[in-house]
Amino acid sequence: MRKMAAVLLASTAAVLCGCHAYQRGEVSQPVPRPSAVLDFATLYGQNCAACHGPDGANGPATDLANPEYLALVDDAGLRKWIGGGMPGTQMPAFAKSSGGMLTDAQVNAIIAGMRKRWSRPGALEGAQPPPYAQTQTGDAKRGAQTYQARCAVCHKQTRDEITNPVYLALVSDQALRTMMIAGSPDIGQPDWRHDSADGKPATPLTDQDINDIIAYLDGLRNASPGFAGTAAEPQSGAPAR
C-alpha cells in the first residue's frame, strides 16, 4: 500500500517535473528532436524513473530491475504495457500509436536497455514458474482460503490493504500476478517459491493458486459498489515534459 500511495505522488511529480530542466547558458547547444533520442538512460530517466525508480527499483511501481521479472516476461509483453499502458493502473501508454510521445524505435530502445542493464542470465534456470500471462480463470472461494494460508501470514493488520477495494481499484490483475510470481526484491515480496526466511523449503504457489487468489481479489474489487468501475482508465499520453 505504501507503494500505491507513492505511485500517485510520483505520477503528479512526473506531470509537474517531467520537463527537462534547462540551465541558463545552455541554450546555444542544439537540442535534439525528442523523437531522435534513442539513449536508454535518457529515455528511462525522463519517462520511467519517477515511478519505477532511478535504477529500475525502489520506486513506487513494479521493480523492473528484478532479473526474475525480466526472465519471465517476453519482449512482446513489455511492448504491450509500455506502448499501450496498463489499464487499471497509473501506467501510461507511451507509444505514439496509443497517444503517447515515444516512437516504436524508442520503446524498443527502452526494452533493449532494460534487458541489457538488469537481466541476469539464468535468473530462472531450472525453475518452473507459473506462466507470466493468465490462461485460466480461478475459483474465488478457493482463492480466499489460499490467500489466508499463503498471504495473510505477512499481509495482516497494517498490510491488510491488499484486500481493500481502494487499493484493488488501482492495480490490474496482471500487476498482481507479476507481483506473486516474480516477487519484488526491492520491497521484500517473495517470488512464487515463497522461500521461508529460515531456509526451510516452502511450497511454491501453483498457477492454480495464483488464478484463485486473483479471482478472490477480483471479487473484492467488484463487490464494492462505491469503487466498481473506478479503476483508472488507460491513460493516453506520456507524462508531460
Least Å from the CB of residue 25 to ligand HEC:
29
Residue whose CB is less far from ligand HEC, 23 or 158: 158
Query: CB-side exposure of 43: number of CA atoms within 13 Å?
Result: 25
Task: Give residues 122-151 in contact with ligand HEC (rule: CB under 6 A).
Answer: 150-151
Q: Which stretch binds ligand HEC (CB under 6 A): 20-28, 121-129, 136-144, 167-175?
A: 167-175
Q: Does 180 bind ligand HEC (CB under 6 A)?
A: yes
Task: Give residues 191-210 in contact with ligand HEC (rule: CB under 6 A).
Answer: 194, 205
Dist. CA 148–CA 158, nearest whole Å: 15
The cell 500517485 sits on which residue?
Answer: 8
Q: Does 91 bind ligand HEC (CB under 6 A)?
A: yes
Q: Does 187 bind ligand HEC (CB under 6 A)?
A: yes
Task: Compute how many residues bind ligand HEC; rule: CB under 6 A.
Answer: 49
**In 10 A of CB 170, how many CB atoms?**
20
Distances (CA, A) of 219 to 139, 154, 192, 223: 10, 21, 22, 6
Grid cell listed for 40: 536508454
Residue whose CB is less far from ligand HEC, 79 or 224: 79
**Of positions 70, 71, 73, 101, contacts ligand HEC by CB under 6 A:** 73
Dist. CA 89–CA 178, nearest whole Å: 13
**Of positions 70, 190, 191, 211, contacts ligand HEC by CB under 6 A:** 190
Dist. CA 54–CA 146, nearest whole Å: 35
The cell 479503476 sits on which residue?
Answer: 231
Task: Give residues 22-41 in contact with ligand HEC (rule: CB under 6 A).
Answer: none
Q: What region, left, alpha or beta, does residue 58 occupy, with left being phi > 0 and alpha being psi -120 to 50 degrees?
A: left
Grid cell listed for 70: 525480466
Dist. CA 24–CA 21, nearest whole Å: 10
Least Å from the CB of residue 19 to ligand HEC:
14
Q: Does 179 bind ligand HEC (CB under 6 A)?
A: yes
- What residues make contact with ligand HEC under the rule CB under 6 A? 1-4, 7, 10-11, 14, 47-48, 50-52, 61-62, 64, 73, 78, 81-82, 86, 89-92, 94, 110, 150-151, 153-155, 159, 162, 171, 174-176, 178-180, 187-190, 194, 205, 213, 239
